[in-house]
Structure 1
Amino acid sequence: MKNIDHWKRMDAILRGDAMEQIPVSLWRHFPVEDTDPGKLARHTIAWQEKWQFDFVKFMPPGTFSVEDWGAATAYTGATNGARVVTNAAVKRTEDWKEIRHLNARAGSWGQQNIALAQAARGLNGSVPILQTVFSPLTTARKLATEGIFADIRCNPDAIEAALRVITDVTIDFCLDAIRAGAHGIFLATQLASHRLLTVTEYERFGAKYDIEILEALRGRCQFNMLHAHGDDIMFDLLSSYPVQLFNWHDRLTDPDLRRARQKFSQVLVGGLNEHNTLVRGTPQEIAGEVMDAIEQTDGRRLIIGPGCVLPVATADSAIQAVVEAARDHNTVAL
């Protein structure tokens, strides 16, 4: 297997060059220990040193953005290692008024960039690092859980006032992440789904703030990645975002990679079914998904990755099958 510098490989895929070795990145949570910055940094470094992925998607606990506003969270054994909100911070409409500006360098927010800085020093610039950032509307949903949908439709001014605060704190956090050693952000939205909101609603309460964050980073980082979580995503709307990488559950919901290429001309990240094939499939079946993704895109502007975070039980043999198929795709026998 040829040893190609991660930065050179990423630069080539961003240009649209044909690649002998397709870039790969997979990411997972490190539950419980991810709440300790030092342990999270060490896990990140060990994960990257073991697998030599082409970018590092930093993996803070998924509830970090709500804890400083009073949400209680816990890891309750989810197969993907994610924490959940056990007690919402916003229970009534008037509680949105309590969402006041925070110092993004303190508390749970600050811990994530402390951890990232430690990981960045350990990796010493060898690979691009993306800090995970939740869209303001995603953070708002975690603050209020399912009650947010009623407030969006019945009390929009209260939601917008809180989103203004959340966005400002998120921008501060993103800029601190770049200073800490991140080369861009992984912006995750969990509400850009036709099952949850109308396009008009998402444009008002979601996209407006998402794009403000991305614009605040313009010229300050190497590249950014958008992750659209869930089913029936608003691909037409999201494909206009100013990002270089786009990731979603392409094996589970529309569009597939081939149709996505018609609407998003930059780099697609995906091709793997992390819920099924990576957990239950044979190495040959896993390699088959990799090869199919390459075929759908002609191997250009593609990074092989999961639709979302890996289950913590994903076997090393499954990850190895992904890496080998992508890096040696011209010689893989199916």
Structure 2
Amino acid sequence: MDHWQRIETSLAGGKPDRIPVSLWKHFPDDDRDVGMLVEHTLTWQRKWQFDLVKFMPSGTYGVEDWGAETAYEGAWNGARSVVKTVVRDADQWATLRRLDVTKGCYAQQNEALRHVAKALGGRTPLLQTVFSPLTTARKLAGDRVFTDLRCSPDALELGLRTITDVTIEFCLAAVEAGAHGFFFASQMASSRLLSAAEYERFGRPYDLEIFDALQGKVRLNMLHAHGDDIMFPLLAGYPVEMFNWHDRITKPGLRQASTQFHKILVGGLNEHATVLRASPEHVAAEVRDAIDQTNGERLMIGPGCVLPLATPDENIRAVLCAVEAF
């Protein structure tokens, strides 16, 4: 099977020739340059031949055009940090301007994606990375977003309206650039951060508005729920084909999740404790356990989140060998 057939067979509940697999990593600082991001993305995919390419722009691209200052500070996973926020007072949510996604940092991400899409020629599913509006709001305001959510909710919702509109425009431009869908990352759907009622008001409606705008325009979307104690039952109803979360470090595990989400679960690997630090034999055992938990049905082997930069090649190779063996 080719990459598409493998995923589509899994999505339909069938048995592909092997379990699909995809791993992804950041390319810190180089991801600020269109040419370098394209080169790294294609080199990564040509080396490993994953079944899906998760495009890897900097995680702060969505706030820089609004004036956030960011830096790569040496994080083990290659993530970039916001070092100066934009929103420092609740009244500022109303002043967020409607960005032109054909310019600035937003435009750079889709320009890079366009080159990658052309080089891949449609042979491998390509997902642009996009962040939920509430996730972007937190990056714009830092932790004061929680204060505004509870003390100035109407003001925050004005900001979420603008962020959602810009995100939709960016997504539509990404489709034109060649994206087959999106890796939709929510870093706020965690009970450690919000109550379910708070996410129902400030998260879910804006998330679903984006998916509604993409209906009929994409082939595959993957939802990524970041962090511990995620709101899995709330998110399981999202209109996506794939669901990714830190299944090795927070509930639910794959076995339980397969009873709640009936499309493709993406996970099975602890990217830090196992893929970074363990032996290839341990990595292979974790792949086998993931297959056992799901009976190999509607599963894509993947990390709970981005791979550490220092992940050894032999452990990536062990993942690929394991899906072939099992």
Tell me the TM-score normalised to structure 1 length.
Answer: 0.97
* Amino acid in the other structure paired with 1:312: L
- 1:232-272 Cα shifts (integer Å, max 9, x gaps): 00001000100010000000000000000110011000000
Q: Are 1:308 and 2:305 counterparts?
A: yes
Alpha-carbon shift at residue 90 of structure 1 (Å) = 0.8
User: Residue 236 of structure 2 corresponds to which residue in structure 1?
Assistant: 239
User: Residue 51 of structure 1 corresponds to which residue in structure 2?
Assistant: 48
User: Residue 25 of structure 1 corresponds to which residue in structure 2?
Assistant: 22
CA contact (8 A) 1:7 1:128 kept: yes
CA contact (8 A) 1:20 1:328 kept: no
Q: Are 1:117 and 2:130 counterparts?
A: no
- 1:291-319 Cα shifts (integer Å, max 9, x gaps): 00000000010000000000011011110
Q: Tell me which of 61, 66, 71 is aligned to 1:64.
A: 61
- 1:72-111 correspondence to structure 2 within 5 Å: 72-111=69-108
Q: Tell me which of 150, 170, 174 is aligned to 2:171.
A: 174
Runs of 5+ in structure 1 lacking a partner? Answer: 330-334
User: Residue 147 of structure 2 corresponds to which residue in structure 1?
Assistant: 150
CA contact (8 A) 1:23 1:327 kept: no
Does the residue aligned with 1:305 lie in a helix, a strand or coil?
Answer: strand
Counterpart-to-counterpart distance in 1, 2:103 and 2:120: 24
Does the residue aligned with 1:270 lie in a helix, a strand or coil?
Answer: strand
- 1:213-224 correspondence to structure 2 within 5 Å: 213-224=210-221
- 1:68-122 Cα shifts (integer Å, max 9, x gaps): 1110000000000010000001111122122110011111111100000011111
Q: Tell me which of 278, 294, 302 is aligned to 1:281.
A: 278
Counterpart-to-counterpart distance in 2, 1:253 and 1:88: 29
Alpha-carbon shift at residue 326 of structure 1 (Å) = 1.0
Counterpart-to-counterpart distance in 1, 2:25 and 2:205: 29
CA contact (8 A) 2:6 2:17 kept: no
Tell me the TM-score normalised to structure 2 length.
Answer: 0.99
CA-atom RMSD in angstroms: 0.7
Q: Are 1:42 and 2:21 counterparts?
A: no
Counterpart-to-counterpart distance in 2, 1:231 and 1:277: 18
User: Residue 195 of structure 2 corresponds to which residue in structure 1?
Assistant: 198
Alpha-carbon shift at residue 320 of structure 1 (Å) = 0.3
Counterpart-to-counterpart distance in 2, 1:105 and 1:304: 34
Mean CA deviation greater in 304-313 or 88-97: 88-97
CA contact (8 A) 2:189 2:225 kept: yes
CA contact (8 A) 2:35 2:112 kept: yes
CA contact (8 A) 1:185 1:224 kept: yes
Q: Are 1:130 and 2:127 counterparts?
A: yes
Does the residue aligned with 1:262 lie in a helix, a strand or coil?
Answer: coil
* Amino acid in the other structure paired with 2:121: N
Counterpart-to-counterpart distance in 2, 1:20 and 1:179: 32
Alpha-carbon shift at residue 327 of structure 1 (Å) = 2.2
* Amino acid in the other structure paired with 1:292: D
* Amino acid in the other structure paired with 2:125: P
Counterpart-to-counterpart distance in 1, 2:94 and 2:212: 27
CA contact (8 A) 1:16 1:301 kept: yes
Deviant stretches of 4+, over 2 Å: none
Does the residue aligned with 1:325 lie in a helix, a strand or coil?
Answer: helix
